[in-house]
Structure 1
Amino acid sequence: MTASATTHKSGTTSAHAGPTGAALPGLALAAIGVVFGDIGTSPLYTMKTVFDPANGLPLNQANLFGVISLIFWSLMVVVSLKYVVLIMRANNHGEGGIMALLALASSSVADRPRLRHVLLLLGVFGAALFYGDGVITPAISVLSAVEGLEIAAPKLAPYVIPITLAVLVGLFVAQKWGTAGIGAVFGPVMVAWFLVLAVSGLMHTVSTPAILAALNPFEGLAFCMHHGWLAFIALGSVVLALTGAEALYADMGHFGAPPIRLSWFVLVFPALALNYLGQGALLIRDPEALENPFFHMFPPWALVPMVILATVATVIASQAVISGAYSMTKQAVQLGFLPRMAVKHTSDEQIGQIYVPAINWLLLASVIAAVIGFGSSTNLGAAYGIAVTGTMLITTCLTFYVIRYAWHYNWLLCVMATGFFFVIDLTFFSANLLKIVQGGWFPLLIGLLIFTVMATWGRGRQMMLDEARARAGATPLKPFMDSLLAQRPVRVAGTAIFMSIDPNVVPHALLNNLEHNAVLHGRVLFVTVAVQEVPRVAEAERITVSMLAPECYQVTISYGFKDEVDVPRALQGCTAHGMVLEPARSSYFLSRATVVPTLGAGMPLWREKLFATMAHNIGNAADYLKLPANRVIELGTRVEI
């Protein structure tokens, strides 16, 4: 019973002020534990994937200089400049992530319906690709960490896959208890991880200082010009060093921009740069270390502790992606792109700590299939990147419309600001398209399936709304009520609350109630839940009330896409409008539609059947709206689409 996402242009900010002073270091520590896990564990597999013999790139000093130069300057340009400096300014009232950016971009072009529709499809596809990333990230991260056992104790090689699966199954099973209890250790563990990256990289760099030549951007340029096609293929693996960059933007709402920027420039970026330089220095001296350059950086006595630390770090990285999938699912449900799902809160203190069982088990099944099917982090590296670069490319496109139409910057400036990053993102995305046959089809397939579901659900809801309006005909709600009250229907004590998807349409539940019971309650409320295209709506703006007729009111409850929907709690705000609702004397009437697919001008029949299946199996509307179970009356109706 949630209205479609509505346009809301309430002054977007171009920068999130964030915390300052004493709170900044603490938030920066927390951000290190949550935001940087994915990009921070990339050194485990990036270099050995770039120089995988299957890619055909020979390992020599010139190529090492070129590849590490590309990695360093990609981190500088894509992460530091694009995300940390530019994209994090394009926040939706302090919130980041592709769904928040989509809401901001679509609202900025609300007066251009066709363009808005294209942006919605583009943003939804970007969100769908995130789920593909959410499958590959836990699989490749944990597997690459456990593969260190092959270096520490070669006899354990047959147990790498089983141990990886055990860790991943344990991680997903533990989701229902939340991360509140162990979240406090994420920051210190990841700080230790980045310090180890920095120290190990520095030691090898000092041993072979010639690797510092890779800091020259012309080394990367010379590498690309010399190798041509091989360099283009290598870019598909170089981008693995950037995976997790989107998390900097997506998690901005939790910490604010300043802590993320501080963490990146003070610790994370220097540690990553030093470690990649160190791996390059090691490979110059010992090309045989290519088997697993990260773990070969450490002496034998440190291998087992490093495997343990790496496994913990990759679990933390995976947790961030899993939590992000839950959060984005909730936002997509609020904005009307996914059907209602059971959402459980795992923390009494933090509203953002949620668990979505359906998504959890689907992710686990997909992750297990990826680990078993690909068998190694190198093979998974071939599948990784296409979803990440696709999301990056879409983020850049949406940002253009934000800075042009929401901030009203000069057109040429907007083209120059985003066009530079668009070319880079398109190059990385194109290089990853070459990996479709090698395994890139897997996350792409997941993204396409999710996109089909999201697009079908969004279109189906709109068709149902159009059908409801057509049924209402030329008689809006107010004239209908005027006509009804003129007939002096039998009134009974109490309050009837009719949940309506459209404030101007006569609810099916009211028509059915009048037909079967032939009575009208003493007080009638028509309540519409409207989700605005902002993260949160202030309590003072939560509820609006207008009188339709004596003791008949139209109520709109507004939420942001990150707010928690609670209709009874919101209706307490009616007191300020002179209405005191007694819970024991209030009944909630819901319309439960049975969707009947039909041939026609709507969607292809298979999509209509898919929508009908989803509509039949969606979560309980009363639970979603937080309605008291003993005060809910559901009345059914058939809807042909």
Structure 2
Amino acid sequence: MSDDVAPKNPEQSMEEVSTELNGKKLLKRYDSLDIESSTVPGHHGHGSKAVGLSVILHLAFQSIGIVYGDIGTSPLYVYASTFTNGIKHNDDILGVLSLIFYTLTLIPLVKYVFIVLRANDNGEGGTFALYSLICRYAKIGLIPNQQAEDQEVSNFKLELAGSRQRLATKVKSKLENSQFAKFFLLFATMLGTAMVIGDGVLTPCISVLSAVGGIRGATSAMTEDMIVWISVAILIFLFMVQRLGTDKVGYSFAPIICIWFALIGGIGLYNFIKFDPSVIKAINPSYIVQYFQRNGKEAWVSLGGIVLAITGTEALFADVGHFTVRSIQISMCSVTYPALILAYTGQAAFLRKHNDLVSDTFFKSIPDPLYWPMFVVAILASVVASQAMISGTFSIVQQSLSLGCFPRVKIVHTSAKYEGQVYIPEVNYLLMLACVGVTLGFRSTAKIGHAYERKIYSYSFSPPGIAVVFVMALTSAFLVLIMIMIWKSHILLIVSYVLVIGTVELLYLSSVLYKFDQGGYLPLAFAAVLMAIMYIWNDVHRRKYFYELDHKVAPEKLKEIAADAKFCRLPGLALFYSELVQGIPPIFKHYVVNVPALHSVLVFVTIKSLPIGKVPAEERFLFRRVKPKDQNVFRCVVRYGYTDTRYEPEPFEKMLVEKLKEFVIDDIWFSQSKVINSTVEAHNGHDEFDAGLVNEDTDVNHADEGKLQEEVEREVEALDEAWRNGVVHLIGENEVVAGKGAGIGKRLLINYGYNFLKRNLRQTENVFDIPHKRMLKVGMTYEL
């Protein structure tokens, strides 16, 4: 669309103007809406939030309820899931306790709290945050919609190390030049997302069912079926209240989890002192070696139960955007980690004296006076653990949607105070059905009358470990890339991380994969279905973009259309939506062929997601004028981050018009500044006498200020008049079909897979709540 000819070297030829004209400051400007821009030179660090100590402590308290619900309820089932065949040697308890201690220390504490949290993306965490950091440093995006202006967004900058290392440059070059690497990174990001959602299906099942199962320890009248149906009722209730919003539902979570941690820590300390204080020697890792020597393959298989001690660890990183790095570090180090260590240590001390009670370790180790209070708190804590994963799933789907990796679904913003709190009805009900189905399905396959009822619950549901370890390993892989390319860490630190953390995670991954046929297929099955949906949608999304890029309307054709006498100009403002960033979409040509009329002001609007968490509202709109100037045709790119809400406090069209006015005013003064600059350059190098001519020319330009002001008023009045005459929203609805001669795979992908998803999901107008009375859909078929 751009009026200017695209420069051969955008880096060197982009025009920058930052000057003062008659007291009016002009901003820097890059004209690159028609080209794929390269990096703008210079990097500026993003500052961290200046948060006071009292605010950090307040956030640390809140994070206890949101972040640690899953990992905090793991003591309900870890020992029962580890010793599925009973305890064969008393020192095996020490070996397992030692494994739990070092696993909790290495993965949640060292890896996530002190290393991974540093890789946050301007305060945002999760798989998409890591992917976005890599995308900003290396051009690995599969859709060529990068613009130089994007890198002027304040949150876009990276704080890079000063020294350039050969390894970082080499790795970056390999990624940018390898199409396979680009596809693989996107695939890995989608896989990690699908795995986390799969974990979000299984975590509520295991947490609620394990907690409710504790009632059998107090009364024999409670049958297995009653336990299952009570669990199902709790799960349904949990999902039904999601519509109220995370703020209301989760407000009381922090006190509940604080009570939970206080109780499990206190009971653990009591059991440690009462039964066997000598379990403290499990801090010696030699007991791990002895455990493997005695049990061999069974010890390796039991790692699938031990890994459940760190379920929910990914929430440390994924939820950092709701809090701060320091607040999560404080809550983990001062509350969560000590309470969990005391809980597992106390249970180990209890088991040293009661080997036969391993199938119901948690509830059997509770002192009698605290049994019922602990049971009630366990139920509440299990619901909290489920809530954390459900809320995380909503956020993940929102991020996937913004990057074109998930079909359109309805996103409800449940809080005007907290932007990140969202509710997705379709996803909520699908999760509910999946959780209820898994709970009923797994229980129905259990052997009724089995001697160890708790073993059935715990062991049957141990497969969440597959999703947990998969995501952890993926996070480590992304982190290594960041350490090499962005942090430029010393090679010894990188190797040490891979050898220590990587080896531990791969060992656990090999163990949980061994249980694939015992239920381990469940998270992978959920992930496979989600991956299929995400792949189909993303693949066709990219095909559509390239089709529009190849068939976009040339600037000359647009000028021809605008100058055609047979086209009448209708009063009003027309917003024409498309996904194409560079150029005018081909559907516009289809529109003018059938409707030979243009509105007095026409704006081509493109919705674009940037690889950053949030885009400041003042930097959201990017405008350019389409020549000829008197036709009042503009292009607008509306930029959002992957965690930005699409809900605006003001109507979208009103914000757009206000920003368009600002652009028109700046554009007129910008044009005048070019005249002044060219005048100065024309006299550059002349003597003092010629310098007087410059001043004379400048005086002439000052004399034209009145004309410029008139032009500004005339342009703004034209926009106001178009606004008063009404706004029409033109939506491009593209029907896509496989092109002639396409193979059967491509036809299945496009004609059946993609179109099935599109027919059964939300439409474009729901993104900005466009009023149907002022909406016009323009249809066109793309043969991909």
What TM-score does the superposition give when structure 1 sets the normalisation length? 0.94
- Which residue number in structure 2 is paired with residue 147 of structure 1? 213
Per-residue CA distance 1:378-398 (angstroms, 9 max, x = gap): 233332200111011111111
Where do 5+ consecutive residues of structure 1 fail to align? none
- Which residue number in structure 1 is paired with residue 479 of structure 2? 399
Question: Closer, same or farther in 2 for the Cα pair 1:298/1:288, shift >3 Å?
Answer: same
Map 1:422-433 → 2, pairs under 5 A: 422-433=502-513
3-state secondary structure, aligned to 2:248: coil
In structure 2, C-alpha distance between the alignment counterparts of 1:177 and 1:335, rounded to whole Å: 27
3-state secondary structure, aligned to 2:642: coil
Map 1:438-453 → 2, pairs under 5 A: 438-453=518-533
Offset of 1:117 from its aligned partner? 2.2
3-state secondary structure, aligned to 1:271: helix
8 Å CA contact retained: 1:132, 1:444: yes
Q: Comparing 246-255 with 506-515, which one deviates more in the overlay?
A: 506-515
Matched, 1:639 2:782: yes
Offset of 1:13 from its aligned partner? 6.7
Query: Of the candidates 164, 168, 182, which is equivalent to residue 235 of structure 2?
Result: 168
- Which residue number in structure 1 is paired with residue 66 of structure 2? 34
Question: Closer, same or farther in 2 for the Cα pair 1:182/1:359, shift >3 Å?
Answer: closer
- Which residue number in structure 1 is paired with residue 78 of structure 2? 46
Query: Of the candidates 100, 124, 135, which is equivalent to residue 129 of structure 2?
Result: 100
Question: Closer, same or farther in 2 for the Cα pair 1:328/1:282, shift >3 Å?
Answer: same
Matched, 1:568 2:653: yes
Query: Of the candidates 185, 191, 211, which is equivalent to residue 119 of structure 1?
Result: 185
Query: Of the candidates 564, 576, 579, which is equivalent to residue 501 of structure 1?
Result: 579
Where do 5+ consecutive residues of structure 2 fail to align? 1-35, 140-175, 444-455, 665-715
Matched, 1:596 2:737: yes
- Which residue number in structure 2 is paired with residue 490 of structure 1? 568
Question: Closer, same or farther in 2 for the Cα pair 1:359/1:584, shift >3 Å?
Answer: farther
Offset of 1:12 from its aligned partner? 9.0
Matched, 1:72 2:101: yes
In structure 2, C-alpha distance between the alignment counterparts of 1:425 and 1:461, rounded to whole Å: 34
Matched, 1:202 2:269: yes
Per-residue CA distance 1:4-31 (angstroms, 9 max, x = gap): x999999697996573411122111100
Per-residue CA distance 1:492-514 (angstroms, 9 max, x = gap): 11111111211334335422331
8 Å CA contact retained: 1:12, 1:92: no
Offset of 1:573 from its aligned partner? 1.7
Question: Closer, same or farther in 2 for the Cα pair 1:126/1:276, shift >3 Å?
Answer: same
8 Å CA contact retained: 1:152, 1:300: no
- Which residue number in structure 2 is paired with residue 188 of structure 1? 255
- Which residue number in structure 2 is paired with residue 481 of structure 1? 558
8 Å CA contact retained: 1:527, 1:554: yes
- Which residue number in structure 2 is paired with residue 605 of structure 1? 747
Offset of 1:274 from its aligned partner? 0.6
In structure 2, C-alpha distance between the alignment counterparts of 1:97 and 1:7, rounded to whole Å: 27
Query: Of the candidates 761, 771, 784, which is equivalent to residue 628 of structure 1?
Result: 771
Offset of 1:149 from its aligned partner? 0.4
Query: Of the candidates 469, 481, 502, which is equivalent to residue 389 of structure 1?
Result: 469
3-state secondary structure, aligned to 1:497: strand
2:80 partner amino acid: K
Question: Closer, same or farther in 2 for the Cα pair 1:144/1:437, shift >3 Å?
Answer: same
8 Å CA contact retained: 2:68, 2:315: yes
Question: Closer, same or farther in 2 for the Cα pair 1:487/1:113, shift >3 Å?
Answer: farther
1:596 partner amino acid: V
Question: Closer, same or farther in 2 for the Cα pair 1:139/1:403, shift >3 Å?
Answer: same
3-state secondary structure, aligned to 1:99: helix
Query: Of the candidates 618, 621, 634, which is equivalent to residue 761 of structure 2?
Result: 618
Query: Of the candidates 557, 564, 574, which is equivalent to residue 638 of structure 2?
Result: 557
Per-residue CA distance 1:53-77 (angstroms, 9 max, x = gap): 1xxx634321000001000100000
8 Å CA contact retained: 1:8, 1:532: no
Question: Closer, same or farther in 2 for the Cα pair 1:45/1:306, shift >3 Å?
Answer: same
Matched, 1:341 2:409: yes
3-state secondary structure, aligned to 1:331: helix
8 Å CA contact retained: 2:551, 2:585: no
- Which residue number in structure 2 is paired with residue 536 of structure 1? 614
8 Å CA contact retained: 1:507, 1:591: no
In structure 2, C-alpha distance between the alignment counterparts of 1:342 and 1:182, rounded to whole Å: 20
Map 1:124-135 → 2, pairs under 5 A: 124-135=190-201
Question: Closer, same or farther in 2 for the Cα pair 1:191/1:348, shift >3 Å?
Answer: same
In structure 2, C-alpha distance between the alignment counterparts of 1:288 and 1:230, rounded to whole Å: 18
Query: Of the candidates 81, 88, 103, which is equivalent to residue 117 of structure 2?
Result: 88
1:428 partner amino acid: Y
What TM-score does the superposition give when structure 2 sets the normalisation length? 0.77
Query: Of the candidates 553, 567, 586, which is equivalent to residue 727 of structure 2?
Result: 586
Q: Comparing 540-549 with 82-91, which one deviates more in the overlay?
A: 540-549
Offset of 1:230 from its aligned partner? 1.8
**Identity score, percent:** 29
- Which residue number in structure 1 is paired with residue 433 of structure 2? 365
In structure 1, C-alpha distance between the alignment counterparts of 2:182 and 2:39, rounded to whole Å: 14
Query: Of the candidates 409, 413, 420, which is equivalent to residue 489 of structure 2?
Result: 409
Query: Of the candidates 367, 376, 380, which is equivalent to residue 460 of structure 2?
Result: 380
Offset of 1:107 from its aligned partner? 3.1
Offset of 1:516 from its aligned partner? 2.2
- Which residue number in structure 1 is paired with residue 355 of structure 2? 287
1:149 partner amino acid: I
CA RMSD of aligned residues (A): 2.3
Question: Closer, same or farther in 2 for the Cα pair 1:27/1:555, shift >3 Å?
Answer: same
3-state secondary structure, aligned to 1:347: coil
3-state secondary structure, aligned to 2:246: coil
Offset of 1:123 from its aligned partner? 1.1
In structure 1, C-alpha distance between the alignment counterparts of 2:773 and 2:135, rounded to whole Å: 39
- Which residue number in structure 2 is paired with residue 577 of structure 1? 663
- Which residue number in structure 1 is paired with residue 344 of structure 2? 276
2:190 partner amino acid: V
Question: Closer, same or farther in 2 for the Cα pair 1:34/1:204, shift >3 Å?
Answer: same
3-state secondary structure, aligned to 1:206: helix
8 Å CA contact retained: 2:200, 2:389: yes
In structure 1, C-alpha distance between the alignment counterparts of 2:492 and 2:508, rounded to whole Å: 24
Question: Closer, same or farther in 2 for the Cα pair 1:570/1:23, shift >3 Å?
Answer: same
1:41 partner amino acid: T
Question: Closer, same or farther in 2 for the Cα pair 1:408/1:636, shift >3 Å?
Answer: same
In structure 1, C-alpha distance between the alignment counterparts of 2:724 and 2:767, rounded to whole Å: 18
Question: Closer, same or farther in 2 for the Cα pair 1:119/1:219, shift >3 Å?
Answer: same
Per-residue CA distance 1:292-313 (angstroms, 9 max, x = gap): 1101111334322222110100
- Which residue number in structure 1 is paired with residue 623 of structure 2? 545
8 Å CA contact retained: 2:420, 2:645: no
Per-residue CA distance 1:230-281 (angstroms, 9 max, x = gap): 2211111110001011000001010111111111111110110011011111
1:487 partner amino acid: D
Per-residue CA distance 1:438-477 (angstroms, 9 max, x = gap): 00001110001111111111111011112222333xx53x
Offset of 1:600 from its aligned partner? 1.9
In structure 2, C-alpha distance between the alignment counterparts of 1:289 and 1:58, rounded to whole Å: 10
8 Å CA contact retained: 2:101, 2:283: yes
Map 1:294-373 → 2, pairs under 5 A: 294-373=362-441
- Which residue number in structure 2 is paired with residue 511 of structure 1? 589
8 Å CA contact retained: 2:263, 2:374: no
Per-residue CA distance 1:358-407 (angstroms, 9 max, x = gap): 11111111111111122253233332200111011111111111222223
Question: Closer, same or farther in 2 for the Cα pair 1:26/1:67, shift >3 Å?
Answer: same
Question: Closer, same or farther in 2 for the Cα pair 1:625/1:113, shift >3 Å?
Answer: farther
Counting matched residue pairs gives 632
8 Å CA contact retained: 2:87, 2:358: no
